[in-house]
Amino acid sequence: MENNSDMFHQKFIDLKETRLSLHTGGSGAPLLMIHGYPQTHAAWGKVAPNFAKHFQCVIPDLRGYGESSVPASGAGHQGYSKRTMARELVELMAALGHDKFSVLGHDRGARVAYRMALDFPNVVTRLGIVDVVPTADVWSSMDAELAKNIYHWTFLAQPDPLPEKMIAADPVAYLEWTLKSWSKHGTLDCFTDNALESYRTQMLNEKRIHALCEDYRAGATIDRETDEADKKAGRKIKAPMFVVWGDDGLTPTYPTMVEVWKNWAMDVNGCAIDCGHFVMEENPKAFTETFLPFLLKT
């Protein structure tokens, strides 16, 4: 983590299917922080030191991302389903000695986080969700405006190797266009040099490009189906939940994410923050001031 080498330390943990890279730092109750697309653990660099003053922070690279290993996709994209990723991170936390913990998740990491809260209700104590609504709701509400804003959902879900080859033709340009277009001010200014280096390195690796596409293929198929099954069965997240979103984020057709999430959680509150999609990097002060009181509440 940039400028915090004395506070955060990288390690690798070998699990059943994957070798995960993670950074840990701080002391106190455990807090799992899960990044999204097209990012890595470095997305938390600006805010992690603030949370490490109160929590033992565990900040992994998801399977296929960053410096974690790239497992096979398996049948039906199971290898990159949010259920698989959530189970794996529960195993990671158990390996570190944590059987209960709070979770913060952004973007794809938020999808792993809410799946974890649904599948492991006795493990997740408090849940923070950043700039997403449930996968099934996104697909069911897809209209022209939303499709234009989140075109990557359908692009990345196309069969292998179409998106892989298109991205690999100029991966850094694709990455930087994505980062700029999803941020409120349309520049790279909010991203640290360390973070940009991490994101660029990832996107230059063709195996990781494939893994990131598999993440979205799972989102279009098995993740959506899993959500729909939970919704039909009336299952709800039991952990107290707080959701934040950028007032210029990726889902402008939703007037408030809180109302959407009330259909999925028993106890949910939230608010908008002045930023685009990359909340932690665009407005780290507001992010910290919003989530710290929620996570510290007993």
CATH number of the domain within which 19 lies: 3.40.50.1820
Q: Print pLDDT tens along the chain (298 aa).
A: 654 557 899 999 999 999 999 999 999 999 999 999 999 999 999 999 999 999 999 999 999 999 999 999 999 999 999 999 999 999 999 999 999 999 999 999 999 999 999 999 999 999 999 999 999 999 998 989 888 889 999 999 999 999 999 999 999 999 999 999 999 999 999 999 999 999 999 999 999 999 999 999 999 999 999 999 999 999 999 999 999 999 998 875 556 889 999 999 999 999 999 999 999 999 999 999 999 999 999 7
Which tokens is 244 given?
A: 């934040």
Which pLDDT value is given to residue 6? 75
Residue matched to tokens 């408030």: 256
In a domain, 288, yes or no: yes
Q: What is the 3-state secondary structure (H, E, C) of 255-279?
A: CCHHHHHCCCECCEEEEEECCCCCH
66: left (phi over 0), alpha (psi -120 to 50) or beta: left
In a domain, 102, yes or no: yes
In a domain, 64, yes or no: yes
Amino acid occupying residue 2: E
Residue 277 a catalytic site member? yes
d(CA 156, CA 181): 17
- Domain residue limits at 200: 8-296
pTM: 0.97
Quote the number of domains for the chain.
Answer: 1
In a domain, 3, yes or no: no
Catalytic residue among 77, 106, 107, 152: 107
Residue 185 a catalytic site member? no
Contacts of residue 148, defined as CB under 8 A and 6 or more positions apart, other chains included, come to: none
In a domain, 30, yes or no: yes
In a domain, 58, yes or no: yes
In a domain, 74, yes or no: yes
